[in-house]
Structure 1
Amino acid sequence: MFELKISKNNILLYLLQIYIFAVIAWDYEIFYQIPLLLLFIATMLRYGQVARAIRTSSFFHGYLLMMMYFFLQFLFGFTVSPADSQAYLITGTINVAAILCVAVTLDQIWKIESVLKTIIIASFSVSIYNFAKNLTLLLSGGLASHCYKLFFSRPTYSHSTIPMFCAFSVMALAYFSLKDRWRIKNVVLIAYFTIYVTLSGSRNALIFIIFGVVIYPFLFNGNRDDFGKRFLKVVLVTAAVCGTVVAVIKIPYLYNLIGYRVQDVLEGFSSGNFSESSASSRNTMLVTGMNLIKKNWFWGYGLNTFRSFPGSFGTWSHVQYVESMVSGGIIALICYFFFNIKAIVILRRYFTKLGGFALCLMIYMLICNMFNVCYMDRFMCLIYGVVDAYIQIEVRKEKDACYGIYTNI
C-alpha cells in the first residue's frame, strides 16, 4: 500500500517495525533489546517530536507516574519484597522508553497501519513455527501448551502469549477488510488465526477473537446507524456470542478443546465453586488478593509483591485490577487505567473505522485485565501506545482545522 524509502523521515518507523517483530518473536531476549536501543537513540535525536510526545501523550503520562510511584516505594523501603520489585522496575523503565518511542514515531495514520501489518506478519511467522513444533499436540487442545520463540528449540512463552498475538491480528485484518474490501487473503488469514486460537484452548484469546470478528465489525465499524439498525446489530452480536458459547460447550470436540474451561468459569461465577484446575487456582489467588487489598488498599505492598504472599502460588495474581491494588493501592490503579478510561471517552468523538478499532480495543482491554496482568507486558503497552497515537493524530487534525491548516495525516 505504501512505498517506503529509507530516509530520515521514516527511519524511526523502520526501527519500530523491527522492534515490534522482535518483541513478538523474541520477547525478553537480546534480539528485541538491540532494536529498542537503536530506536530509542534515533528517537532522542528528534528533539521537537520528543517534547511534543512528552507533553501530549496521555498513556505516557499515566505509565510514567505509575513507575515513579513504584520507584519511590522501592527507594523508601515500602515494598515487602525488594528483589521482586527491583526486577519489575527494570522492565517498567524499559517500557517507558518504548512507549515514548511509539508516541514519537506514529504521527500519521499510514504509519499506524504499517505497524498493524507488521504485527500480522510477525504473528503469522511465530504461529506457523509453533504449528510445526507442536504437530503431535495439534488436536489435543494443547497446541499452545508449549510455545516457542521463533527458531528456539525449547518452549519459552506462556500458553496464551502467541494466541493473543493471533487474536489481535484477527482484529487488525478485520480493520483492513472494512477499510478497503474483504480480500480472499484476509479471510484466509482470519480463518487461520481463529483456528490456531481455538486449537490453543486460550480463553482470553478466544474472547479477543469474538471482539475481532463479531463485535468490532458489527458495532464499531465506523458507520453511524439509526437506532433501529443499532438495536438489530446488538441483537445479532448477542446471538453470535451466545451461539459461540453454546457451540464450544455442546460440540464434543470443541468442549474437549476449550469448552470445559468456559463451562467451569460460568458455573464458578454462578455457584462460587471452581473445579477446573486453572479456574480454581485463579479463584484462590483472587481471594488472596482481595484479603490483601482490604488490609492496605491505599498504598499497596510494592511492585510485583503479590507473588511473595501465601496463596499466590509464587506468581502474579492473574487479574490486573487486583495486581495494581496489591502493588500500589488505589494510586497505581488510577495511574494505569487513567488512559484506558480517558481513551474510551475521547474515541466516541472519532467514529471512523480506525477510531472504532481503537475504541473496541480499549473496551476489550478492560475485560482482558480481568483475566490477565498486562502492565509489564510489552505487547499490551504497544496496543495502548497505538491507540494513544491515533488519538493524538485526530486531536492535531482538529486543531489544524481550527486554524485553517490542512495536512495529510
Structure 2
Amino acid sequence: MANAATARAFQYGLGIFALTALIGLANAIKIFGTIDQNTLLTHLHSGTLGWITMGVFGIAVALFARNGSAVGPNVRLSALATAAYVLAFWSGNFIARAVFGLVMLATIFGWWAWVVYRAQAIGFGRLTVAQLSILLGLTTLVIGSTVGVILQVLFATSNVTDQTGVLIGVHASAQVGGYLVLVAAGIAEWHLSGETRTTAGRVQAVLLFLAGLLLALGILLNVTPALLLSNVFQTVAIVMVALRVGRRAFGIGWGAPTGARHEAIAVGWLVVALVLFIALDHTMFIGVMTNVLFGTVLALGAPRTWPWADHVIFWGLNAGAASFVVVLLTVGSSAGAGPFGHPVAFTAPIMGLAVLLGIVTFSIRLAGAPAMATAPART
C-alpha cells in the first residue's frame, strides 16, 4: 500500500535522523571534546541521506504510486542500505565506504529509474510541478551521488590527486545547490498550492535543475560563465517560488498546528539560503528540508499524540535554526572552543532538542496510524 510505504520511509528516516541530532548536539556543546572528521561525516550523511533522502523516497511513493500498485523499490532495504553507508562513514574504513557507497548508489538509481518509469506512464507533459521537481531532483541526486561514490573509491584505492578536491566541490554543489533546492521547492508547492500543472511552475523546476547542473559543471571544469549562469537561473527560480508560493505562505494560520506552517516557513528559508553562504548547510538541511519533511509527516494525517508538541517543535526548530545561523554569521565557527565555550553551544540545543522531540513525537504518531491519507497526484 502506497500510504504505508510512505509512512515507513519516514519512520526509518526519523530513526536515522536521531543520530544526526545527537551528534550535532555533542558537536555544539563539546562536552566530549572536539568531534573527529569521521563522526562529522556521519552527522552530515545521516542527515542528507538517512533523513532527507529517505523522506524524498517516501514522497516519491505518495506522488507516483497508484492505488496500492507499483509502490516502488523496497523501503526497508533502502533504509538498510542507507544505514550501512552512514555507519561506514563512522567506521573511518575507506573500503567499507566504497563498498556500501556502491550499494547506496544502486539504491538511489533504483528509485530514480522507478520514478522515470512512473513518469513515463503518466506522461512527462502531464506531470504536476511536484512530480517534475522530484523527477529532476532525483536525477541531480544520481549525478551528485555518483561523484560522491567515485570519491570513496578513490580514497579506498589510494588514488587521491589534486582533482579530488574539485570532485568534492562538485559532489557538494550537486547535492545542495541542485537536488535539495529543487525537491524542497516542489514539496512546498505541493502542500501549499496543491497539484498544480502551471507553465511557470515547470519553468521554475527546469531552471533549478539547470542551475544545479551548471554549478556542478562550472566547478568541475572551472568555467566561470557556467557558475554565473547557474546563479542567475537559481535566483530567478527562487524568486519565482517566493512570488508563486509565498503569497499562499503568508496567508496560512501560523498559530494552527498543521504542516502548512512548516511548508510556508521553508519558503522563507529558501530565500535566506539564496543570499547566505555561511551556514548554508544548516539553512538548507534544517530551515528548508526538515521543515518541508516535518510538514509532510503532519500532512499524512496520523493521530495527534502529544498535541502540545507541535508548537514546541515548530517554534523551537525555527527559532533555534535562526539563532544558530545568526551566531555563525556574527561570531563565527566554534572550532577550537571548549565545552560551552561558544555561543553556538546555547543556540544549537534549541534546534537539536526540537528536532529530537519531533523525531519521538512523529515516530509515535506514524507507528499508531493504520491508514494515512497522503494525496497522490492525479494521472
Q: Under a length normalisation based on structure 1, what TM-score does the superposition of the two structures give?
A: 0.33
Greater fraction helix? 2
Between structure 1 and structure 2, the one with the greater Rg is 1
Task: Please report the TM-score for the alignment, with normalisation by the length of structure 2.
Answer: 0.35
